[in-house]
Amino acid sequence: MSRAVRRARRSRIGDLGLAAALAAECVAFAALSPHFFTAENLLNVSLQASITAIIAAGMTFVILTGGIDLSVGSVVAVAGIVATSTLKAGLAPSVGIPLAILVALAFGALSGSIAGLFVTRFAVAPFIVTLALMTVWRGTAFVVTGGRPVWELPESFGYLGSGRPLGVPLPSLAMLGVYAAAHVVLLHTRFGRYVLAVGGNAEAARLAGIRTGRVVAGVYVLCGVLSAASGVLLASRMNSGQPNAGMMYELDVIAAVVVGGTSLSGGRGSIAGTFLGAMLIAVLRNGLNLLNVNSYVQQVVVGVVILLAVLADTARKKR
């Protein structure tokens, strides 16, 4: 058997290992709690996971280039406020809601563009740029709202976050759509290939004719837009724009990507892995809730699971 075949198989076993861990986790919780393996609860898990999972798809691209985006949680808050404030402008819901979504997504793209500009043109470390943006947007959220939530919104806006076409929560469907698209973009478009190349060796990529600046800026815009989309869904679910929405989301999002096997040094990783990583963490939270595990203990458990997942990944790569 050629090395390549084994290598390919090995990388798939990585995803399979993650899938197996997820399955084992589900079986364990199903055995421990009669409420776990019910359609309602599983849909609930997917709904709870959807908000951060959508962002994690974008974060995967950022991390694949060797970067990081710490501003996602604050972008969620500002995007929610931008959307809800637009709704308060008094337009008919049929116009107002699409407009609110568009304006929020445009804000996400703007935030991503700013991050991309600083990272590429001014060569500032992504960690610093997005840390700064995280603070700027969080502060902005509190300043423009005066610390009070934006509410009294058109009733139909709530459908985005709480609607259930065919019984499935809309954010869960949105998440599946985002992941399907992200998978195709990463593996079957030029942009996706360039992302992997830039993350693997940026200078070699540039000398092969790749406009690396555009690629890097592109991943921050993508991540910003997906964060804003999550922000709109969250605002709809809460029926308000909250200045403290999305607090600490960046950590959950990065955890999902890392548990999913994407290398923080860039170049290696997958969308499927991130999806499984996000699900693994969501199921864990949900299961521990059903078992009435104290929320502080939950934090410890989730942290340990992240460490174990990364450990398993390192061991697998060494073999």
Partner 1 sequence: MSTLLELRGIVKRYGGVLALDGVDFGVERGEVHALVGENGAGKSTLMKILAGAIPRDAGTVLVEGAEADLDSPAASLRLGIGMIHQDLKIVPEMTVAENLLLGAEPLLAGTPFLDRRAMERAARAALAQLGEDLDPWAKAGRLGVARQQIVEIAGAISRKVRVLALDEPTASLTGREIARLFDVVRRLRAEGAGIVYISHRLDEVFEIADRVTVLRDGRTVASAPASTIDRTTLVRWMIGREIAEGAREGAPAAGEEILRLEGVASGWLGPVNLALRRGEVLGLAGLVGAGRTELARLVFGADRPDSGRMFLEGREIAPRSPREAIDLGIALLTEDRNRLGLVSTMNVRENVTLASLRALGRGIFTSLRREETATRRHVDRLRIRAPSLDAGVDQLSGGNRQKVVLARWLETRSKVLIFDEPTAGVDVAAKAEILALVRELAAGGAGVMVVSSDLPELLGLSDRILVLCEGAIAGDLAAGEATQERVMTLATGGGREAA
Radius of gyration of the chain (CA): 20
Q: Amino acid letter at 66?
A: G
Residue 58 in contact with partner 1, rule: CB under 8 A:
no
Cβ 115 to partner 1, closest distance in Å?
A: 22
Interface with partner 1, residue 67, by CB under 8 A: no
Region of 50-58, 92-100, 200-208, 223-231 interacting with partner 1 (CB under 8 A): 200-208
Q: How far is the CB of 208 from partner 1 (least distance, A)?
A: 4
Contacts of 111 (CB under 8 A, 6+ apart): 71, 75, 78, 133, 137, 224, 227, 228
Residue placing its CB nearer to partner 1 in the complex, 243 or 269: 269
By rule CB under 8 A, what count of residues binds partner 1? 32
Assigned token pair, 8: 């390919």
Q: Is 94 in the site for partner 1 (CB under 8 A)?
A: no
Among 81, 150, 210, 215, contact with partner 1 (rule: CB under 8 A):
210
DSSP-H helix ranges across 33-146: 39-64, 72-87, 93-120, 126-145
What whole-number distance in Å separates Cα of residue 51 and Cα of residue 238?
12
Among 8, 31, 89, 291, binds partner 1 (CB under 8 A): 8
The residues, ordered by sequence, that sit 6+ positions from 124 with a Cβ below 8 Å of its Cβ are: 118
Q: Does position 205 bind partner 1 by CB under 8 A?
A: yes
Q: Which of residues 247-266 bind partner 1 (CB under 8 A)?
A: 266
What minimum distance in Å lies between the beta carbon of 117 and partner 1?
18
Residues 180-199 contacting partner 1, CB under 8 A: 188-194, 196-197, 199
Number of Cα atoms under 13 Å in the Cβ half of residue 311: 6
Single out the residue of 44, 211, 298, 305 in contact with partner 1 (rule: CB under 8 A). Answer: 211
Q: In this complex, which beta carbon is closest to partner 1, that of residue 197 or of residue 302?
A: 197
Least separation in angstroms between residue 267's CB and partner 1 is 4
Q: Report if residue 128 touches partner 1, rule: CB under 8 A.
A: no
Q: Please tell me the total number of residues recorded for the chain in this structure.
A: 319
Beta bridge partners of 301: none
Q: Which of 214, 165, 154 is nearest to 190 (CA)?
A: 214
3-state class (DSSP) for residue 116:
helix
Q: C-beta of 244: minimal distance to partner 1 in Å?
A: 39
Member of 27, 204, 297, 311 binding partner 1 (CB under 8 A) = 204
For residues 230 and 52, is the Cβ–Cβ distance under 8 A?
yes
Report the residue from 92, 203, 248, 295 that binds partner 1 according to the rule CB under 8 A: 203
Binding to partner 1 by residue 268, rule CB under 8 A?
Answer: yes
With beta carbons less than 8 A apart as the criterion, state whether 236 and 86 touch: no
Find the shortest distance in angstroms from Cβ 198 to partner 1: 9
Q: How far is the CB of 4 from partner 1 (least distance, A)?
A: 4
Which residue's CB is nearer to partner 1, number 77 or number 198? 198
- Determine contact, residues 291/42, Cβ cutoff 8 Å: no
Contact 271, 97 (CB under 8 A): no
Query: Side chain identity at 7, as an amino acid letter?
Result: R
Report the residue from 201, 308, 311, 317 that binds partner 1 according to the rule CB under 8 A. 201
| Of 89 and 207, CB closest to partner 1 | 207
Q: Which residues of 70-86 are buried (b: 16+ CB within 10 A; e: fewer)?
A: bbbbbbbbbbbbbbbbb
Other beta carbons within 10 angstroms of residue 193's beta carbon come to 15
Which residues in this chain contact partner 1 in the complex, by CB under 8 A? 1-8, 188-194, 196-197, 199-201, 203-211, 266-268
